[in-house]
Amino acid sequence: MAEAARALLVVAMATAVLTTTAMGATTYTVGAPSGSWDMRTNYAQWVSTITFRIGDQLVFKYSPAAHDVVEVTKAGYDACSASSPVATFNSGDDTVPLTAAGTRYFICGFTGHCAGGMKVAVKVEDAATGGSTAPSPMAPRAGTPAAMPPAGMMPPAAGGRPVPPSSSASRSAGVVESLVGLGVGAMAAGLMIFY
């Protein structure tokens, strides 16, 4: 019975670790939910509702007979020029992983489409630039309902910056990190028992 309980604990911890890891990345269909990669969608408005992070993915859905996706430099984006592409996609269902912080620029290379508004600049954040590689319970992602701040954390002050946690909140974070480490260690020990 003790071994069955231990096995259940190991499975539960493995599931928790995998779920936490999987929650770090989000796939965004460009223009969704009310648009797609087309001439009608307002992409500046669409990106304004999202905080993109390293690990997220963009999916461009469109008719390849009518459009394509060309990743360009800022100069190419500003000039609506696809003459020196960073990358070109034309499957109609293209997935682009966001693997680094910075701004990525995409246009439709079909004549007149970029000038007609078919272009999107995506700013990708990471922890070093003020964002996070995974959603934080203290800073909900744009477009999601606001989350309650954790115990000891004050709501954001004027200017949108969170108030630094008190020393008791820092200790709580340390306890959580210790518990996570303990859980991973217990999971590894549990797996060793079975082998």
Q: What is the pLDDT of residue 179?
A: 39
Residues 92 and 60 in one domain: yes
Question: What is the CA angle 177-150-15, rounded to 5?
Answer: 50
Whether 148 is covered by a domain: the verdict is no
State the DSSP H helix or E strand holding residue 121, giving kind and residue range, or none if neither: strand 119-125
pLDDT tens for each residue of 106-125: 999 999 999 999 999 999 99
**Nearest by Cα to 170 from 183, 156, 152, 187:** 152
Q: What is the pLDDT of residue 133?
A: 40
pLDDT value at residue 92: 97
Q: What is the pLDDT along the chain (195 residues), one digit of tens a residue?
A: 566 545 444 444 443 333 333 457 899 999 999 889 999 999 999 999 999 999 999 999 999 999 999 999 999 999 999 999 999 999 999 999 999 999 999 999 999 999 999 999 999 998 444 544 444 333 334 443 333 333 443 443 333 333 333 333 333 333 334 334 445 455 445 444 444
**DSSP-derived secondary structure for 19-80:** HHHHTT--EEETTTTT--SSSS--HHHHHTT--EETT-EEEEE--TTT--EEEE-HHHHHHT
Residue 80 is part of which domain span? Answer: 25-129
Which of 104, 129, 154 finishes a domain?
129
Query: Tell me, what amino acid is at 47?
Result: V
Helices 2-22 and 167-194: crossing angle in degrees, nearest 10, is 120
Q: Kindly state whether residue 139 falls inside one of the protein's structural domains.
A: no
Please indicate, yes or no, if residue 100 is contained in any of the structural domains. Answer: yes
Q: Would residue 140 count as lying in a domain? A: no
Quote the pLDDT of residue 5: 47
Q: Which residues pair with 120 in a beta bridge?
A: 106
The residue among 103, 129, 155 that closes a domain is 129
Task: State the pairing for strand pair 52-53/119-125.
Answer: parallel
Same domain, residue pair 29 and 117:
yes
pLDDT at 126: 85
Closest CA to 95 of 120, 124, 71, 60: 60
pTM given for the model: 0.57
Helices (H) and strands (E) in the chain, counts: 4, 8
Same domain for 94 and 13 = no
Q: Judge contact between 54 and 98, C-beta under 8 A.
A: yes
- pLDDT of 185: 52
User: Into how many domains does the chain fold?
Assistant: 2
